[in-house]
Every structure is written in C-alpha cells, then in structure tokens.
Chains A and B, each alone.
Chain A
C-alpha cells in the first residue's frame, strides 16, 4: 500500500537519552578503521580545541537508526522491513558529537513518495543535547521495494 502523503511533517517524541561514552566512540572509530587521535585521545582532542574526544562524522547513525525505526513501526507507516533498502543518507553537522554528550533524537517524516512500485520514506532525525543545543541532523531515505 502506498504511503499516505498526509504523513509528511509528522513528528515523533524525542528518543530516550543517549549518553556518548569515550569507549563507544573508540569502538566506532575502530570499526571504520579511523586512526585519527582526536577519536581516542582526550589530549589530542583538547589540542584540536575540543572539550573531549569527538566522534567520526557518521557516528550519529548509532542513535538515529533506532530513532528512524520508530517511524517505520508507526502503524500508519508500517514499512515492511524485509523489503527495505537504504536509499540515501545525509548528515548536517552543527558541531561534532563528543564524549560526555547527553543527546536526544527527534524524528520527523520529511517526504513520502511512490516511484515505480516502490515506497520511498524520508525521515529526518534531529539530534540535540538534552538542554536543546542542536548537534546534527541525519536524514535517511528508505526504499520499500514493491510495496506501493
């Protein structure tokens, strides 16, 4: 069933608090083979002007993937995950995510389209500190094949 265009603009409650640890940043950096010391050495991060070690530019997916999953599970969206592929991804950074950040992720449906029998769902997840400082936005376009 094609997605309802009226879904565009629908927002969801902020995620549970996500506390960013140095260990998680190191784990992510190692998984992508990134060796820049600003991801693992607080001294190097300080020298580069950061309050603590910073996360690589795509780290936000560790929080935003599950936040976007809340949208896919909305009964009005009900995306069939077995048919879903990741079509596009965008990150807009206001500042790097860093160790010690206490973040919440808020999803909003940005676009729905049906193209060639496929449903395309674009969700923007805004990541901010619990105090409301914007950190980054992650926009994912998912393609559900053959569902439209």
Chain B
C-alpha cells in the first residue's frame, strides 16, 4: 500500500512520463453507465448541438479520471493520490468515428512537502488545446 516512487528520488521540476489516452463515442457510453452520468450531451449529437456545443463532448469527470491515471501510473499506486483538484476549461469534443479524440497528460512536480507528499501540476490537452485550466494532484510518495 505505497507508492513505488520515493520522495528522495523526486525534486521540484521532476517530469512525469507523458501519456495519451483515446476517447471514443463507445467509451463515453461505457463511462456514462459506469458513473451514472447520463447527460445526453455526452452521447447525443442533436442535444449537444442544440445547447450550443460543437458536438458530443466527453464527461469532464472522464478527462479527470484519465489525468489521474497518468499520476498513479507514475506513482505506482492508485491509493497514493490523496488530493486532486481540477478546473474544467474547454470540452473534449469526440467525433463520431472509430478514432475519437485523444487526451494527452503531462505532469511536473510543483512542490514537495516534508511528509513525502508531492504536488503534481498537470497539463491536459486535446487537439492541441488545454482542456483542464487547472489540475493538481497530491501524491503520497514512499
């Protein structure tokens, strides 16, 4: 029950491996079912465009979950993430094709505390635009 990354091996500025995750329409349907968020803007093009969106968009919470994967994959332990805050900036538009959208997650250690916690500042983009305007994860390191 601990991270595989040791605080002693991390410093402010340490970069996490960049990760890219695909998001497809089928994936949105699956996430809707798993999370219980059935808002039609995440699966119905007609409703999405009626409310002024460019098309069907991913659940913000799915983008948040993908960004967390990049953090816990680096830390080596999903239980190491103790605090996590994001601000949703732009929607991830998911085209109706077999490729979908791609969400890219970059991370950098922005602060370290004496109790071995690292604050990871995340940059999360899709189609070259930042989709989370603020994303910070606090990880308990070994």
The residues of A with any CB-CB pair to B shorter than 8 Å are 24, 27-28, 30-34, 36, 38-39, 48-50, 54, 56-58, 61-62, 65-66, 82, 85-93, 95-96
Top 7 A-B pairs ranked by shortest CB distance?
A49-B1, A31-B34, A32-B65, A90-B85, A57-B81, A58-B65, A31-B31
Partner of B33, one of A27, A38, A39: A27
Instruction: Write the nearest CB–CB distance from A15 to chain B, whole angstroms.
Output: 13
Which residue from chain A places its CB closest to the CB of B53 in the assembled complex? Answer: A85
Cα distance A95–B79 in the bound complex, in angstroms: 7
What are some 6 contacts across the A-B interface (CB < 8 A)? A24-B34, A31-B31, A57-B78, A57-B81, A87-B87, A91-B85
If A32-B31, A57-B65, A88-B85 are given as contacts, then 4 extra A-B residue pairs at C-beta distance below 8 Å, sorted by A number, are A32-B65, A56-B72, A87-B87, A93-B83
Contact A61 B83 (CB under 8 A): no
Q: Nearest chain A CB to B135's CB is how many angstroms away?
A: 10
Q: Is B8 an interface residue (CB 8 A)?
A: no
B77 part of interface (Cβ distance < 8 Å)? yes
- With both beta carbons as reference points, the residue of chain A lying nearest to B23 in the complex is identified as A33
How big is the B interface, by class?
Answer: 20 to 34
Q: Which of B56-64, B92-100, B105-113, B118-126 contacts A (4 or more CB under 8 A)?
A: B56-64
With both chains docked as a complex, state the minimum distance between the C-beta of A16 and any C-beta of chain B, in angstroms.
Answer: 14
Tally of contacts, chain A with chain B, CB under 8 A: 103
Q: Are A88 and B86 in contact (CB under 8 A)?
A: yes
Measured CB to CB, the closest approach of chain A to B37, in angstroms, equals 6
Q: When chains A and B are docked, how far (Å) is the Cα of A49 from the Cα of B78?
A: 12
Kindly list chain B residues whose C-beta atoms are within 8 Å of the C-beta of A54: 78-79
Q: Is the CB–CB distance between A93 and B81 below 8 Å?
A: yes
* Interfacial chain A residues near B1, Cβ < 8 Å: 48-50
Among A31, A36, A82, A93, find the residue whose CB has the most chain B CB atoms closer than 10 A: A31
Contact of B88 with A87 in the complex, beta carbons under 8 Å = yes
Q: Report A113 CB to chain B, min CB distance, Å.
A: 14
Please report the C-alpha to C-alpha distance between residue A56 and residue B81 in the assembled complex, in whole angstroms.
Answer: 10
Asked if B128 lies at the interface with its beta carbon under 8 angstroms from chain A, I say no
**Which residues on the A side are within 8 Å of B78 (C-beta)?**
34, 36, 38-39, 54, 56-57, 96
Known: A31-B35, A57-B78. A88 touches B66 (CB 8 A): no
Q: Could you say which of A57, A65, A87, A95 contacts B36, with CB atoms under 8 Å apart?
A: A65
